[in-house]
Structure 1
């Protein structure tokens, strides 16, 4: 029998600070979409360059997550969090001051790269500093931050752009990050624990480059493919990711055989929870692309203002909070049944939403969407956090940052693939007959099918995660 060390005294205060930074990142991912028309008018930007202000952030973020996680394992999660947050704040300031679209684009790429250093440290902190008995609660709070930030982004974007504070107009959406980032950096120095370097050896630079190439080969076509009409090279580029990933795996195994620290320890994926959890999460977040289609329908099809569309989505926030609050304490006891329950609710929400959109047509009101949007949020609240906890349960303390970066990268892949696949079906149907309701229904049903596939994939997950009797054995691997 082993005894867990005394938990870090300021862990909850530190978690609150870390989640504030994650919320800032998630808001920033979405907030710019609402302000794009105003940015285009002000900077006289071409549509392609404007599209890259959103795309550049997503790509840079996804490409740096795993590297940021491993650097945190090596140099300490506090140091990497402070570096990432400070860089994010400076890049936000540069974006707000941008005199033209080129500077704005470079600042957005820098924001994404620094966010990729910042975000993995949060899950790693939860994994390393919280005892097994508190992991579910901490993960529940973390899991709420992502969807809440995603929902708050459009709402804040509409409010700040319309308010035109100090005459800054759209620039306010970037300036608001600066004091938040500054407070987070100072707070991290005060409340996060001293660095604990658990990694060994130097950084695997060749591995970083090959993995970045493989991820870029997948992400670039997914993000840009629909805009470009899915040219043949997009599919060839995605196919090239397979040999690149194979090369990366061979490189990592070679480093381990030679006693050198790999970027990703391949043995980590032998854990059933990790490997199956990543698969389920990829399909899960791909299905969430249907929510993206609904916002298009509300604004483009029904003429909702950005603010009205954002308010229509507010019941999802209630569902997310309720789903997390009810579900996360039950993860150790229910195991895979909890994400399965979340996926059932998401299926019900997607099917109900499809019926409501079709039945009410052009007369659809926010009140008629309350129930399906609430179901959607509750399913997301139950499913997302429990999936993360199950997936991370098999990672050791030395792999906490890497595992966190890997999980977040898969989430980004799913969030890019969802709008690409579901959005392609939506725009294809819309081009055929111009019927927004029919196109939205088709996309929502595709999303429901993806949730069904994810539900079946949940049977690959371990039946249960860490329960109270297991805590002594799990303490040996950092849980």
Structure 2
């Protein structure tokens, strides 16, 4: 494989990663951090109606509590990944988890909705330093033949986070611990973050890019500006009546991204230290996977927000009832994610991901039918079947997709690549949150009588699900551009009967 051979040529000799027993402790620590980030997002979703009521937040502020995090996260991820390559992934991980913990405390003690929005933006910025290092540390610590197992575990963690977040958020909101109402959903991060900081400093092995890199400040500015020009008008467009400047800003974002590409080419030719490693897009598996990840993020951004609003405001369910309803979905995601990488992808390759897209779309269509058929009398057990089908579909995508995208990425660009993966997912997520104004709130009136709220939210939910199904159909088609079998699994299969260490890239530690 070309990329692997290139790694062997460039990377200095280092001890074999299998000799470092601490790698499994390091894996547990970084996955705990990833779990904390995932739980934080889903906890906030389930508590949105409570925050709106108890903190006196407007819908615009509620939207910014979710979208502000996604914006800051997306804007900083590529930079965070590159900073890890330059200054050390362990160092940036510890800085990120420490900052994330502090921001969580600020969210928990926010005196008003404005402070909560600002603290969420800070939390997103800190997550953008922490999260890219997770995949980079895995990529730099584990040899190719072990990464399939690791990404299978990662998929299981994603599913567990999806299970734990809504349920934990619902319980903490319902219990109203110490009269703090919704605040414990953020304060719960403090003991986890402090433990991760202490244990991470002991067990994670430092790794950097094999050659010296410099931070591309112009690239940082262009990436941040382009993302903000695209996502800010989408997020506030409906609230402001879709002003002309919003359309101009979104069109201008395309110009900024074009300027970014031109500058990054110049930067690569000049000193070889671009922020966005454009050569990654010459790797077919990476380029195709990035496109799929972006569109997938849009579907997730739409679904999870409207699902919460539909259950708690449209159907009038309590946070606990809504949280418990999501358990079948989360268990299905976790189970399917673990099986997909370890059992299915090595045998069936790309077809597993495409099957996941079709299964997820089928679950969405079934959910649409049930919502229309049962109306406002629908019960949690009646939602279980479509949620399980959707969860299986999502699980067949999430873990194998990450594996496929990173399988041929040169190690010196691991931070940049993982930053791009997370950036496009969050960018897609923020786009989805912006589109909620169009596909969900855009279908109902601004002023609804109490008797109109339930039917209006149910109709809007069905409309939003139609969009999600259409996005999954697009993802199915995009997946034809993925390689039929990820190269990583081919390597792993070849290595088992006949180890060939000379083909394994040396790892930096």
In the alignment, structure 1 residue 302 sits paired with structure 2 residue 301: no
Which position in structure 2 is the counterpart of 1:243? 255
Which position in structure 2 is the counterpart of 1:225? 237
In the alignment, structure 1 residue 399 sits paired with structure 2 residue 404: no
In structure 1, distance between residues paired with 2:116 and 2:432: 26
In the alignment, structure 1 residue 126 sits paired with structure 2 residue 155: no
In structure 2, distance between residues paired with 1:392 and 1:226: 37
424, 429, 435: which one aligns with 2:438: 424
117, 132, 145: which one aligns with 2:157: 145
Matches for 1:32-181 after TM superposition, within 5 Å = 32-36=44-48, 38-39=50-51, 44-45=56-57, 47-181=59-193
**CA RMSD, Structure 1 to Structure 2 (Å):** 2.5
Q: Which has the higher contact order (CA 8 A, sep 6+)?
A: 2
In structure 2, distance between residues paired with 1:369 and 1:47: 27
322, 341, 353: which one aligns with 2:367: 353
Q: How many residues align?
A: 479
In structure 1, distance between residues paired with 2:200 and 2:431: 34
Is the 1:68–1:118 Cα contact (8 Å) retained in structure 2? yes
In structure 1, distance between residues paired with 2:483 and 2:195: 40
In the alignment, structure 1 residue 5 sits paired with structure 2 residue 16: yes
Is the 1:79–1:195 Cα contact (8 Å) retained in structure 2? no
CA apart distance, 1:42:
5.4
279, 283, 293: which one aligns with 1:281: 293
Which position in structure 1 is the counterpart of 2:449? none
Could you give the per-residue CA deviations for residues 454-476 of structure 1, whole angstroms, max 9, x where no partner exists? 10111111111121356658633
The structure-2 alpha-carbon separation of the partners of 1:443 and 1:43, relative to structure 1 and needing over 3 Å to count, comes to closer
In the alignment, structure 1 residue 336 sits paired with structure 2 residue 354: no
CA apart distance, 1:239:
1.5
Structure 1 stretch displaced more, 197-206 or 254-263 = 197-206
Is the 2:17–2:142 Cα contact (8 Å) retained in structure 1? no
- Determine helix, strand or coil for the equivalent of 2:444: helix
Which position in structure 2 is the counterpart of 1:411? 425
In structure 2, distance between residues paired with 1:42 and 1:362: 25
The structure-2 alpha-carbon separation of the partners of 1:366 and 1:39, relative to structure 1 and needing over 3 Å to count, comes to closer
In structure 1, distance between residues paired with 2:106 and 2:113: 12
480, 496, 499: which one aligns with 1:459: 480
Which position in structure 2 is the counterpart of 1:444? 465
In the alignment, structure 1 residue 191 sits paired with structure 2 residue 203: yes
TM-score by length of 2: 0.87
TM-score by length of 1: 0.93
CA apart distance, 1:286:
1.8
Which position in structure 2 is the counterpart of 1:290? 303
The structure-2 alpha-carbon separation of the partners of 1:420 and 1:393, relative to structure 1 and needing over 3 Å to count, comes to same
Is the 1:199–1:261 Cα contact (8 Å) retained in structure 2? no
Which position in structure 2 is the counterpart of 1:24? 36
